[in-house]
């Protein structure tokens, strides 16, 4: 089958993005398509695959996101910005309510993060701190800045569902080896967290946060939007940052503006960059993607994002 898509990224989190409103596939086929397109050794590659889907009487449109292993995520805020932008362009909107897998989000065009950088604001929540919602099999009703019984780490974590599950800990300095080891333990689906979880180590930096994440179904990633949102909320819940205060949230892929409110609603504003438009033939049965036919390159957008990164006061990571 021939698939048209846009290669996009939010804060360096890159995806093939499909307008799937007229595309009818079963769940197994969606998973195969995601594995074929997001394969880093294939012709496209990405941290996952995004789809713009039909809306309903409460939502202008919907979003679905699959990780590169074919598993579907409840949400992906970097991806949501890209899907929102495509929805705005296809439907002639500036703001919308979006249907996610298990929840909804408010999205809107926002002032540019930097010159020429398309920027979208996302509002999600209220997030949950119930351990049942995070998927933790423990007796405690919630975990806020406390060790987690059964987790092979003595660090103090905050567990939040955005609605996808996140375990966030604040550290003096990020040890990637420790992060990867603990992330791989979670990725194995242990009895403590059988549905797995996203794991983030966060440093407090001047003016904001620096986040490093082992993403469920992906691994160590340069950027995870929902992890940045979870980290903003965790910073507020633990008193490290005042609720309602806007901050910059950095990662290896770039940065976003973030803010959490006392009612656990999180606002994230960041780029939704479209790099190129293309089409490709995909054999779903074989999970094989053929050569890419690039229809248009968006060189101005790529240059604008590169300039934005070069002009930032970079936070070393």
Rounded average pLDDT over 34-55: 95
How high is the pLDDT of residue 121?
A: 96
C-alpha distances in angstroms, 291 versus 2, 5, 40, 45, 317? 11, 13, 14, 12, 35
State yes or no: pLDDT of 1 exceeds 50: yes
Q: Where residue 312 falls among pLDDT bands split at 50, 70, 90?
A: low
Domains of the chain by start residue, with CATH: 2-113+272-311 (3.10.310.10), 131-270 (3.10.310.10)
**Considering the chain, what is the average pLDDT of its residues?**
94
Rounded average pLDDT over 154-168: 96
254 is in an annotated binding site: no
Share of the chain above pLDDT 70, in %: 98
How high is the pLDDT of residue 317?
A: 45
13 is in an annotated binding site: yes
271 is in an annotated binding site: no
Rounded average pLDDT over 257-276: 96
How high is the pLDDT of residue 315?
A: 44
Just list the catalytic residues: 76, 224
Question: Which position has the token pair 């009703």?
Answer: 141
Long-range CB contacts (within 8 A, 24+) of 236-244 = 236/260, 236/262, 237/129, 237/144, 237/145, 237/158, 237/160, 237/264, 238/144, 238/145, 238/158, 238/170, 240/170, 240/204, 241/209
How high is the pLDDT of residue 295?
A: 97
Strands 165-170 and 198-205, how do they pair?
parallel
206 is in an annotated binding site: no
Task: List, for residues 174-194, the tens digit of each pLDDT value.
Answer: 999 999 999 999 999 999 999
SS3 assignment, position 66: strand
203 is in an annotated binding site: no
How high is the pLDDT of residue 75?
A: 80
Asked if residues 272 and 8 have their Cβ atoms less than 8 Å apart, the reply is yes
Task: List, for residues 267-292, the tens digit of each pLDDT value.
Answer: 999 999 999 999 999 999 999 999 99
219 is in an annotated binding site: no
78 is in an annotated binding site: no
How high is the pLDDT of residue 316?
A: 44
Task: List, for residues 200-254, the tens digit of each pLDDT value.
Answer: 999 998 879 999 999 998 899 888 888 999 999 999 999 999 999 999 999 888 8
């Amino acid at each position: 089958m021939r698939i048209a898509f846009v290669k996009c990224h939010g804060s360096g989190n890159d995806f093939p993005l499909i307008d799937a409103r007229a595309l009818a596939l079963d769940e197994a086929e969606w998973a195969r398509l995601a594995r074929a397109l997001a394969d880093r050794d294939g012709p496209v590659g990405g941290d996952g695959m995004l789809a713009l889907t039909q809306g309903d009487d409460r939502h202008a449109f919907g979003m679905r996101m699959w990780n590169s292993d074919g598993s579907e995520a409840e949400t992906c805020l970097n991806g949501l910005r890209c899907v929102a932008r495509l929805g705005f362009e296809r439907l002639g909107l500036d703001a919308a309510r979006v249907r996610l897998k298990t929840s909804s989000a408010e999205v809107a065009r926002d002032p540019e993060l930097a010159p020429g950088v398309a920027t979208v604001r996302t509002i999600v929540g209220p997030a949950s701190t119930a351990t049942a919602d995070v998927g933790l099999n423990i007796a405690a009703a919630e975990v806020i800045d406390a060790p987690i019984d059964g987790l092979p780490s003595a660090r103090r974590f905050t567990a939040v569902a955005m609605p996808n599950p996140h375990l966030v800990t604040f550290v003096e300095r990020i040890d990637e080896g420790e992060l990867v080891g603990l992330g791989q333990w979670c990725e194995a689906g242990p009895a403590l967290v059988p549905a797995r979880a996203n794991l983030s180590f966060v440093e407090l930096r001047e003016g904001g946060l620096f986040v490093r994440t082992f993403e469920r179904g992906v691994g160590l990633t340069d950027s995870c939007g929902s992890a940045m949102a979870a980290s903003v909320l965790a910073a507020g819940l633990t008193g490290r940052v005042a609720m309602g205060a806007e901050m910059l949230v950095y990662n290896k892929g770039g940065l976003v503006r973030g803010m959490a409110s006392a009612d656990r609603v999180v606002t994230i504003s960041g780029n939704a960059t479209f790099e190129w438009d293309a089409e490709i033939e995909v054999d779903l049965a074989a999970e094989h993607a053929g050569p890419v036919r690039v229809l248009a390159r968006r060189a101005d957008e790529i240059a604008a994002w590169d300039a934005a990164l070069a002009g930032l006061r970079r936070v070393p990571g």
